[in-house]
A and B are shown apart, each in its own frame.
Chain A
């Protein structure tokens, strides 16, 4: 399960639309929580509290590469605020919101959330996945109206 602030989905869709015709990308930051009432038994023990825009160094409609300096700055900022990077999002400009073989092959961290924003259709679609040892599993996205963290 991926826990998001209520405005997050709207914000990243707008950001990805701004990035057209290229794929857009960014990072998710959050923190560990201990709330058995909302967490399932899987390993989703983080809530997302912030997202960071990052440049797509590939500048392509088909592939993305998170600018490493943007990543480093996001990582430092997140750490300074008691958070850590917990995932990445990117847009698929002409395909469905499902990880491509390249997404799977290059997934850097099995503990991250991989959020895809598909701009293929008139209405953008957002999905989140875990990618571990090459296996893809979709996770539900829960929009939390309020956080006490």
Chain B
């Protein structure tokens, strides 16, 4: 199925400047893999070489952080929206 993936400004240059994409996949991981196959510049930006979600990236499925669902194995339903966001932090 196809879902909407919303991208942060940081990643948009890697996907032709698009702020969102329609991507095929049955799980979040499949969608990310599909995006990377279409836009190879995304390689390593979201998923680590070990296959884990990058620690400085948050992915939301609708209003839920996938770290509290089934992570990259989280299943998708028609009409879902995936939001990819950089972690924003700092301090002393």
Contact = CB atoms under 8 A, between A and B. Distances in A.
Interface residues of B, number: 19
B89 A85 contact: no
Contacts of B91: 23, 58, 60, 62-64, 90, 100, 102-103
B85 A103 contact: no
Interface in A3-61: 23, 25, 27, 58, 60
A111 to B, nearest CB: 6
Nearest to A25: B88
Contacts of A85: 8-9
Interface residues of A, number: 34
A25 B92 CA distance: 14
Interface of B: 6, 8-10, 19, 56, 58, 60, 63, 65, 83, 85-92
Interface of A: 23, 25, 27, 58, 60, 62-66, 68-69, 71-72, 75-76, 79, 84-86, 88, 90, 92, 95, 99-100, 102-103, 106-109, 111-112
Given A68-B65, A84-B19, A109-B8, 6 more contacts: A27-B88, A62-B92, A68-B87, A103-B91, A111-B10, A112-B9
